[in-house]
Structure 1
Amino acid sequence: MPESDMSGFMPIVFWVIGGFIAVVFVYVIVSVFVNASRVRRAGHNPLTLQSDIATKLLDSDALSSQPSVEARLEKIEQLCSAGTISNDEYDAARSRLLAQL
């Protein structure tokens, strides 16, 4: 049986694809090490970085459903100026809000 014209081409394709996979593998490994070293130089542990960021985000006011302290202070100022609450109530509410900081 005659050999197909593609029989000499297949080893070349195999080596090109294998070489490409090897280059990508080396790139990924080098990227991981470079990023880890940068994180270490910045004073963080690269193995816990994702957890550290998640913890800081959860502890911050960024995900809070409550309005900011400034917004709440503005609200009690509006209530006081509208006469809804007295000056004494305004002072007490303001003191409570500022004590939370």
Structure 2
Amino acid sequence: MGFDMNVAFGAFGVIFAIAAAVVLSGFVFVIVMMVRNAKKVRDAGHDPFTLNAELTNRVLASEVLAPAAPPQTLEQRLAEVDGLQARGVISAEEHAQARAEILKG
């Protein structure tokens, strides 16, 4: 009893067919998912081909990435309270209370 080449090539053919079927089903799955995602995006009123650019522009234009204003110094905060009193926005009592809170820290 020797080595039978037909059995070896037959087994290789079966393994190759299984591998090809797995790869092909993977391609089909990816294509189906891409079509479903594109349909969802289109149904939401967006262009699936420019969605990344749209989202990037919205994030860049939003306040999420805007630099935070530097904190005011003690002098700036006191000047703001003085300005509010000078314009009549706050009373003398409110001015005194606000200055005391600012100076207290």
Give the alignment's TM-score, normalised by structure 2: 0.63
CA distances 1:27-63 after superposition (whole Å, capped 9, x unpaired): 0111011000010111111111000000101111212
| Equivalent residue for 1:26, pick from 9, 25, 28 | 28
Matched residue of 1:65: which SS?
A: coil
> Match for 2:42 among 40, 43, 59?
40
Alignment-derived partner of residue 8 in structure 1: 10
Distance in 1 of aligned mates of 2:13 and 2:22: 14
Change (3 A) 1:3 1:32: same
Runs of 4+ in 1 over 4 A off after TM superposition: none
1:17 alignment partner in structure 2: 19
Give the TM-score taking structure 1 as reference length.
0.66
Match of 1:61 in 2: 63
Name the count of aligned residue pairs. 83
Structure (1 or 2) with the larger CA radius of gyration = 2
Q: Which has the higher helix share?
A: 2
- Unaligned 5+ runs, structure 2: 87-105
Q: Please report the RMSD computed on the Cα atoms of aligned residues, expressed in angstroms.
A: 3.1
Q: Secondary structure at the match of 1:61?
A: coil
Label 1:90 to 1:44 Cα distance change in 2 as closer, same or farther (>3 A).
farther
Seen in structure 2, the aligned counterparts of structure 1 residues 88 and 16 have a Cα distance that, compared at 3 Å, is: same
**Identical-pair percentage:** 25
